[in-house]
A and B are shown apart, each in its own frame.
Chain A
């Protein structure tokens, strides 16, 4: 008998056990979660086309390398909720509408799962993305100036122009406007809200 065979079979079986437990279970159970149907629509809410395109920009720019999108269970740490990153822990169903779950593994910057609740003004996001220190002094978030274009003001200044003062202001007669990518990205960020209730996760009582 070929002695390689028992070894190979043991490896395959034990490997398969872990695969079944984590991968197959996820596929069969978590992969078939359905939206929660309410009288006024379903939860989590559907996303706009712009937000879905924005998720691609989020992926391409690697925002995930610095930002997580998960509020942890209070049994593990209460700081996520204390920091006002969410009213309740995130659950698998919250990601139902996403193409990719950007759960994140490191937090060089704050968690973004509810950033759309904290900041609702697109203009704030544009300024922050263009140069974060203009809105958060001391920030070390990279500047995404390449998501904007500098253009000559013709006639009326554009309504979308980013309001910038000080050293980052554009030259006289010029303005900074967001590109389509920046607009999609901001639509995506504005859609980051886990502010609804799902039956599997009751809201955490306020302290």
Chain B
């Protein structure tokens, strides 16, 4: 599809049109070269997803029933929670996102992967890093720096592994066959450049400890905001730009909006993290800059969402038929809600009440498991059948996965934001003692436990389905599931 006539100057510099469909043999060649490494990414990611959500369920339960598994050092709340969240970030989201972007980049660049052994080695390194890091925290070597709790030596394998994987994608880029660069690749390029920079900076200054504690606050806030805003969210947005046109056949609605969305995100996201320490011991100008940037973030978000919404308009049939599209639609909604919640959080007087309650954790969970993960699931739903060479085995597992995730996440958001608001109002009144604040928060925390259980069930049903696919791929003659074959995702 070419829109040469309507290209703006920006696009003239970077030709923007969607790449022409590849020849079937090229496609098959690419998929064959990627089958093992990408499926390996997905397998390890799903393991950590289950691991992380089991631990999250346990910690949420510990908050309401403190005597649950109490007094055991490696199962104490303060050690489990960081392990759980880091497993979801480093174990699940990053490898899943990388696996998907690797496949998409290869397809967009029209190049099969060479020397995939190194990539497999990188996955191995990465997972070793996550494993050793988690073990370190459980054994009491955690650093208690948000999102960087792993002991500092665990950052070395993680960093090396990322560079190896990143190099692969860059090589694919430079060998690309169509010279044009599609918007998806823009976002991937942003994310893949941002991560090593973020991770190296944060580790150098924080975990390897070469900076005075008085200066750590802004760097902590910068890292924990940008790991989402400049890395995972761009990956997710790029994946959506790839999948919607592929699934529905609709072209990108507006290239101007796409360009606007990309550059305004790039410009603003990096400045928006300091609301994490609004009113805290960091320079006031930083907080002001972030408040403004968070408000302005409505521009990139509105631009991409408008674009997506226009592309999805009237695609009811496709939404019903394609699980990937349904996951994307929910991911987009989650992204919008998370942005609005962030906006409310950045208003100073509101922040005074909402800060430090479950509200802010709710935004993080919604971003990680809603906006990012739902899109990654969509990517896996789209890609895995192409790698396996057959379609998803069971449609009820998919439905289970989707609806449990939707209900679980919605319940989570309601319990965390409303519960957080009430908790904040109680905290704001100094006459209410701490133990009384706890009783205000308790019902909402119970709701949170239920939400986690639903999410856990949702992920279990997906992992089971994926496991069945793996089994079926190696034992094609055996019947694997009671569910009838269903051609949900056609293999193109």
Contact = CB atoms under 8 A, between A and B. Distances in A.
Interface size bucket, B side?
Answer: 35 or more
Q: What DSSP secondary structure best describes chain B's contact surface?
A: helix
B267 interface: yes
B177 to A, nearest CB: 14
Contacts of B14: 3, 6-7
Interface string B421-438: 000000111100011001
Given A22-B219, A31-B214, A142-B66, A6 B13 contact: yes
Interface stretch (B76-84, B332-340, B385-393, B449-457): B76-84
Interface size bucket, A side?
Answer: 35 or more
B352 A137 contact: no
Contact of B197 (A8, A19, A26, A94): A19
A18 B222 contact: yes
A11 B195 CA distance: 12
A180 interface: no
Interface in A78-113: 79, 82-84, 89-110
A144 B283 CA distance: 36
A143 B145 CA distance: 22
B164 interface: no
Interface in A1-42: 2-4, 6-8, 10-12, 14-15, 17-19, 21-23, 25-27, 29-33
A83 B186 CA distance: 49
B435 A137 contact: yes
Nearest to A22: B222
Contact of B62 (A60, A79, A82, A142): A142
B214 A144 contact: no
Interface string B353-379: 101111011000000000000000000
A19 B270 contact: yes
A77 B144 contact: no
B217 interface: yes
Interface string B203-222: 00110010111111111111
17 contacts: A4-B173, A6-B13, A7-B181, A11-B266, A19-B197, A22-B270, A32-B212, A63-B78, A79-B430, A82-B430, A84-B430, A93-B214, A100-B145, A100-B216, A101-B216, A139-B435, A141-B66
Given A90-B280, A100-B143, A101-B217, 9 more contacts: A3-B14, A10-B263, A18-B222, A22-B222, A31-B212, A61-B140, A77-B428, A105-B356, A146-B72
What 8 pairs across the A-B complex have the smallest Cβ distances? A62-B78, A18-B270, A76-B279, A77-B352, A30-B215, A72-B279, A82-B430, A107-B356
